Amino acid sequence: MHLQTTKSFRNVERRITLAFGALILLLMIIVLFAGGFYLQGVMEREENKLSTLLTQVLANSVSRISFSGKYHARLLLEELKATQPKLDYLLLAESNGQVLAHSDPLLNDTTLSSSAIAVIQTVIKNNGKHVRYFSHNNESIREVTLPYRGGFNNTIVGAIQVGLSTQSRHQAVANGIIYIAFVVAGLLLIGVLITYRISTYFGNPIKQLASDMETTLHAIPDILFELDENGRYIQVLTHNEKLLAQSKNKLLNRYVEEILPNKAAQTVLSALKEAKFKGDSHGHQICLPLSQGNAWFELSIAKKAGLKDGKNHFIVLSREISQRKLVEQEIITLNSQLEERVEQRSAELKIALEEATHANTAKSEFLSSMSHELRTPMNAILGFAQLLQLDKTLNKAQKTNTQEILNAGTHLLTLINEVLDLSKVESGHIDLSIEAVNVFSAIEECIGLVSPLAQKRGISIINHNNVDGVMVKADSTRFKQSLLNLLSNAIKYNREDGEIQITFKTVDKNQLCISIIDSGLGIPPEQLTELFKPFNRFNADKTNIEGTGIGLTLSKRLIELMGGSLEVESNVGTGSIFSITLPIEKNISPEIEAEKQQNNSEQLLQKSNNTQHKILYIEDNPANLNLVEQILAHREHIQLITSETPESGIELAKTHKPELILLDINLPGMDGYQVLKIFKADKNLQNIPVIAVTAKAMLSDIERGKAEGFIDYVTKPLDIKEFLITIDKYLSSNGDS
């Protein structure tokens, strides 16, 4: 279907052709009529000149002929009539109308009509000229009358009339017009050719433009409307009338409110109003009921410029978006379903998380409870064993037995600690304090701790120290814990009189690799992949080699949490190499750090032995009370007051006002936290430092204790040396104050 815009282009082409053709035709007609009028005027002027000149010649000729020469005059007139076909007649007449001579001899000596006599008398009287036209014998005659003179005094004696036939003039004019017509026809033909060429010159681009426009419009899937500001349809352009609410002819010059549903019409009018003030409007959507069902359209409206009438017209592009709306609806449905699934899954995950949290809490509570229940008797075992070691009255066998108790107890405590540490690592609840650690100092300290065990088996430890002053980024305690584990394994799984080498090398200039090389039996390749799994001791559990099977697992995970790695290489029969790699800390001066650590140690070990101090210990376990009493019995300057119940402990604190309070957490009736709140609420007791002494050794327990207000937190089993250092620290600071 040819669109209206395409027809407009073709109309423009036809209009150009017709305009040029009409212009040329008009020019030809003007030339034709102008030529005819001009020719006729020329003929008339020439005839006037001829008739006037002829009349004057005759008048002058006749005036020289006397009356006696009448005969000669008549002969002259007859001769002129015979030789001049244009002359219809010639005559000489007196003032009274008597014809003296006539070109027709039969009219000589006749009298003219009264009207002719009147004309002659007027000419004679005025000495002028008279011209008249009349028809005679179906011919158009032009008559000219002039006076003539005669006699000796040359006075006006009569008039001469010449009658000329205009038939030849009309024929000449007709011939001239025919000639002009041929000229005009030739010019018209030339004009047609010019018009054709002009039409071709201008028309072909217009046709091409029209064709391109038609192709473009056919390719556009949208509908184009031209509306005025009141919503009246002015133009409709589309190649698919099925998308129209009504046929195109029914839309033109009607208003959207008459055609569209009310909601859609109001949307269109609102968009037109917006475009009127802003220049354009986009994104408005309408739904129309069509023969094939409901269809959605999106409108883009722009204000049309260049209108001479000053009215507002708008070009409306209407794009059919039913498929898009369907997809959007499907997306909304899918989103809704997805949200429901997410909510359902979130609820399930929440339940699972709550269950996991509950399980984790239960696990933590179980581990805490287990730790407490194990540490409580271990406190008595290790504590009294340490006291026995201090007894100088023991014989050699008794000292050996005491040492065996300490070794077994220490091993059991190590097992408890490692199980708890592994549990914390696996749950992600372990806290690390990353700082600059002096590698040399840490290695030397660890070597010092394992040297007795190495000496028992005749194993030499060779420290290839070339890293004096080098610092690594690590948690100092966990770093030394991992080193001790590797060194202990290198001793336990080595051969008698073997050796251990500790070597160092830098990796990528910013990491330090510490390798512990033993001369043991080595590990088979098939066991290396299982080496770092917990509780996997291979065949070692069948020997007398002590171990828990979780030391390597814990060490590897701790090193990785510190940003490093733990790798192993082994050859059966020659030994194994365990390598720790950690990032190097370049911003800390090792000398300053070493000096700082030394000063801290000196301050920590200061004791105040010259002043008497009073300590209150609240503990419900008699064995633990007895242990602390015996430990502090070696300090004569310390008076220990004990209480097995929290209530009596509170009263003793109010009565004696001790300098330091040792408080267990698990107490009957009220726990240690409740007792601590009572102390903090009493203005007479709130400044007394309170140290928690408890078997609750989980990290969460320690964090809570410090958060609640305990000045320090000591875990059971007690390390007597560290316990005394802690007590001396707070007694010293309290005494200084």
380-408 average pLDDT score: 80
**Could you give the CA distance from residue 300 to residue 281 in angstroms, rounded to a whole number?**
6
**Cα separation of 445 and 229, whole Å?**
93
Compare 298 and 541 and report the one with higher pLDDT. 298
Q: Is the per-residue pLDDT at 604 higher than 50?
A: no
- Both tokens of 24, joined, read 């040329």
End-to-end CA distance of the chain: 106
Tell whether the model's pLDDT for residue 223 goes beyond 70: yes
Reduced to 3 states, what is the DSSP secondary structure of residue 717? coil
The percentage of the chain sitting over the pLDDT mark of 70, rounded to a whole number, equals 75
Would you place residue 595 in the very low, low, confident or very high pLDDT band (cuts 50, 70, 90)? very low
Beta strand segments in 79-215, E: 87-94, 99-102, 130-136, 139-150, 155-165
Note the pLDDT tens digit of each residue in 85-124. 777 888 888 888 888 888 888 888 898 888 888 888 888 8
Is the confidence at residue 60, as pLDDT, over 60?
no
The per-residue pLDDT for range 433-443, each reduced to its tens digit, is 889 999 988 88
Is this model's pTM higher than 0.75 or not?
no
Q: Could you tell me where the DSSP H helices lie in 476-550?
A: 476-492, 525-528
Q: Residue 360: which pLDDT band, with cuts at 50, 70 and 90? A: low
Per-residue pLDDT of 471-510, as tens digits, reads 999 988 789 888 988 998 899 888 899 999 999 998 888 8
Q: Is the pLDDT of residue 66 over 80?
A: no
Average pLDDT over all residues of the chain: 79
**Tokens 């015979």, located at residue:** 82
**For the residues 332-355, what does the mean pLDDT come to?**
87
pLDDT value of residue 39: 61
Q: Residue 670 has what DSSP assignment?
A: S
CA 517, 519, 522, 528: dihedral to nearest 10 degrees? -10
Who wins on pLDDT, 30 or 313? 313
Environment class of 170 (CB within 10 Å of its CB; exposed 0-12, middle 13-18, buried 19+):
middle
Say how far apart CA 15 and CA 215 lie, in whole Å.
Answer: 23
φ, ψ (nearest 5 deg) of residue 92: -120, 130
Q: What is the pLDDT of residue 535?
A: 60
pLDDT (0 to 100) of residue 614? 92
Using a 10 angstrom Cβ sphere, with 0-12 exposed, 13-18 middle and 19 or more buried, the burial of residue 85 is exposed
pLDDT at 733: 65
